């Protein structure tokens, strides 16, 4: 989108576009100055971001004018990078992919998609088709770094990996945050530009913002209460919160009861986790846990949200599952001020399976470490060993798009053929 702005930015009138760096999708106003530098501001009329931008939007021009920006194919040679033509590049890549496929089998070709893929219509539309055409099981992406826990919970609980409920920030009366720093991320996995203002508004309308985090973050400055927790113990805290909700008869599934199964089973499971038992393990005082559970269950509306701090730990999947459970059993799923499902212009539920797959789990496992696939991809944590460990289906070629799985700086399609 930014790119289009630049193509047409030949006069002084502002161009209105969307910052495509992150999912917050802030509206931006771009004006080209006489010296060709860009004046990038938040678009006050954007109904979603309402004028908010973060410093990264202003820095978009640094990418645009970066002298190292790759604008044509290059080939690595003994004498460094050599510029080649597009036809030559496509031909060489296609021939090598065919050769490697013939010699080592289809799983010898791996793919890695970086985060910007989902912020680009072209990549979003055409990358899946290209990857499917390779018929490889060695598919990786940035998704498995930090957010598959959300998708797994959504797939197992709601039947589709993209049915991700998001906090109704603008109406909630109690926002409980675990392991997230939305004041900086602008609401990762909930798309909320200008989150600082929204958190202040919760408090201004008499609500509360409560943060559970081992670190005093930027979000902690905006919260009513910050409870420090020992890293990696969120699962115990969530179980203890649910323990109190069940023990004190505070469950109220509401209209969801007609299609919610297993609430009693959860009650039996969490019976083993009273706050007094988990307090020393989590570092959160049992009286604080009890108070929080009561506040959450009795609030006019409440929503629990957890992000990278709870997803990227041993029990990440269970944490995201329990967060959904807490919202469900307190009647806060699918209601104003709670965790709500979105009404997207593109509805994944009615889309063809090829465009928005429902999800899958453990249909196959990675070769070296036996990790399960999710929705056709393997956790990227195993990519290096799948390249380095010899044997059938060892990765011999890697196609990356908009990603840096080796933590190297790279901007376009990177090709490694052996
Ligand atoms: S939060 Fe920053 S990087 Fe993300 S879309 Fe908004 S301006 Fe761009």
Tell me the CA–centroid distance for residue 379 and ligand 1, in Å: 27
User: Pairing relation of β-strands 109-113 and 139-141?
Assistant: parallel
pTM reported for the whole predicted model: 0.89
Ligand 1 atom closest to 186 (CA): 1
Q: Please give the pLDDT value at position 159.
A: 94
Tell me the CA–centroid distance for residue 48 and ligand 1, in Å: 12
Mutate to test the pocket of ligand 1, among 17, 20, 22 (most ligand atoms within 8 A of CB): 22
| Cα gap 318→149, rounded to integer Å | 8
Neighbours of 281 (CB within 10 A): 14
Q: Which residues line ligand 1 (CB under 6 A)?
A: 19, 21-22, 24-26, 53-54, 56-57, 186, 193
Q: Please give the pLDDT value at position 191.
A: 87
Tokens found for residue 346: 């593109």
Residues in the chain: 418
Mutate to test the pocket of ligand 1, among 1, 29, 57, 194 (most ligand atoms within 8 A of CB): 57
Mapping DSSP onto H, E and C, the string for the chain reads CHHHHHHHCCCCCCEEEECCCCCCCCEEEEEECCCCCEEEEECCCCCCCCCCCCHHHHCHHHHHCCCCCCCCCEEEECCEEEECCHHHHHHHHHHHHHHHHHHHCHHHEEEEECHHHHHCHHHHHHHHHHHHHHCCCCEEECHHHHCHHHHHHHHHHHCCCCCCCEECCCCCCEEEEECCCHHHHCCCCCCCCCHHHHHHHHHHCCCEEEEECCCCCCCHHHCCEEECCCCCCHHHHHHHHHHHHHHCCCCCCHHHHHHCCCHHHHHHHHCCCCHHHHHHHHCCCHHHHHHHHHHHHHCCCCEEEECHHHHCCCCHHHHHHHHHHHHHHCCCECCCCCEECCCCCCCCCCCCCCCCCCCCEEEEECCCCCCEEECCECCHHHHHHHHHCCCCCCCCEEEEECCCCCCCCCCCCEEEEC
Q: Please give the pLDDT value at position 121.
A: 83
8 Å CB contact between 210 and 176: yes
Q: Please give the pLDDT value at position 346.
A: 82
8 Å CB contact between 382 and 366: yes
CA 15 to chain CA mean position, Å: 29
Per-residue pLDDT of the chain (418 residues; tens, 9 = 90+): 444 444 444 567 899 999 988 888 899 999 999 888 899 999 999 998 999 999 999 999 998 899 988 999 999 999 999 999 999 999 999 999 999 999 999 999 999 999 888 888 888 888 988 999 999 999 999 999 889 999 999 999 999 999 999 999 999 999 999 999 999 888 889 988 889 999 999 999 999 999 999 999 999 999 999 999 999 999 999 999 999 999 999 999 999 999 999 999 999 999 999 999 999 999 999 999 999 999 999 999 999 999 999 999 999 999 999 999 999 999 999 999 999 999 888 888 888 887 788 999 999 999 999 999 999 999 999 999 999 999 999 999 999 998 888 754 333 333 333 2
For the chain, which domains are there? 2-64 (2.20.25), 165-340 (3.40.228.10)
User: Pairing relation of β-strands 174-178 and 74-77?
Assistant: unpaired
Task: Count CA within 13 A, CB hemisphere, residue 358.
Answer: 9
Q: Alpha-carbon torsion 286, 288, 291, 293, what sign? A: negative
Tell me the CA–centroid distance for residue 371 and ligand 1, in Å: 34
Ligand 1 atom closest to 49 (CA): 6
Residue nearest to atom 7 of ligand 1 (CA): 53
| Cross-strand partners of 333 | 339
Mutate to test the pocket of ligand 1, among 26, 52, 197 (most ligand atoms within 8 A of CB): 26
């Amino acid at each position: 989108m930014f790119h289009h702005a630049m193509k047409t930015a030949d006069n002084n009138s502002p161009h209105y576009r969307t910052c495509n760096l992150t999912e917050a999708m802030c509206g931006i106003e771009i004006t080209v100055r006489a010296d060709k530098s860009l004046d990038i501001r938040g678009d006050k009329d954007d109904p979603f971001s309402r004028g908010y931008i973060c410093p990264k939007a202003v820095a978009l021009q640094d990418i645009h004018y970066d002298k190292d920006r790759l604008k044509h194919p290059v080939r690595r040679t003994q004498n460094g990078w050599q510029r080649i033509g597009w036809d030559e590049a496509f031909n060489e890549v296609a021939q090598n992919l065919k050769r490697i496929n013939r010699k080592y089998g289809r799983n010898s070709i791996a793919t890695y998609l970086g985060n910007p893929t989902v912020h680009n219509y072209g990549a979003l539309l055409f990358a899946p088709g290209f990857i499917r055409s390779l018929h490889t099981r060695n598919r990786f992406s940035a998704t498995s770094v930090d957010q598959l826990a959300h998708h797994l919970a959504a797939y197992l609980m709601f039947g589709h990996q993209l049915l991700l409920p998001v906090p109704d920030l603008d109406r909630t009366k109690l926002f409980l945050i675990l392991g997230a720093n939305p004041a900086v991320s602008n609401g990762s996995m909930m798309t909320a530009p200008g989150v600082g203002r929204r958190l202040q508004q919760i408090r201004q309308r008499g609500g509360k913002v409560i943060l559970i985090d081992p670190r005093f973050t930027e979000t902690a400055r905006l919260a009513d209460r910050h409870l420090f927790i020992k890293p990696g113990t969120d699962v115990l805290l969530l179980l203890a919160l649910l323990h109190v909700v069940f023990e004190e008869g505070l469950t109220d599934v509401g209209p969801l009861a007609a299609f919610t199964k297993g609430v009693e089973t959860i009650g039996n499971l969490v019976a083993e986790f009273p706050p007094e038992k988990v307090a020393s393990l989590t570092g959160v005082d049992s009286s604080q846990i009890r108070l929080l559970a009561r506040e959450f269950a009795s609030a006019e509306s409440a929503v629990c949200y957890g992000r990278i701090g709870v997803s990227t730990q041993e029990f990440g999947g269970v944490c995201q599952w329990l967060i959904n459970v807490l919202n469900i059993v307190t009647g806060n799923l699918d209601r104003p001020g709670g965790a709500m499902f979105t009404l997207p212009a593109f509805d994944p539920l009615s889309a063809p399976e090829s465009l928005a797959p429902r999800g899958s789990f453990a249909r196959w496992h990675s070769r070296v470490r036996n990790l399960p696939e999710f929705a056709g991809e393997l956790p990227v944590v195993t990519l290096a060993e799948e390249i380095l460990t010899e044997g059938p289906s060892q990765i011999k070629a890697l196609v990356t798009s908009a990603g840096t799985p080796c933590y190297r700086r790279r901007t376009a399609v990177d090709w490694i053929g052996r």
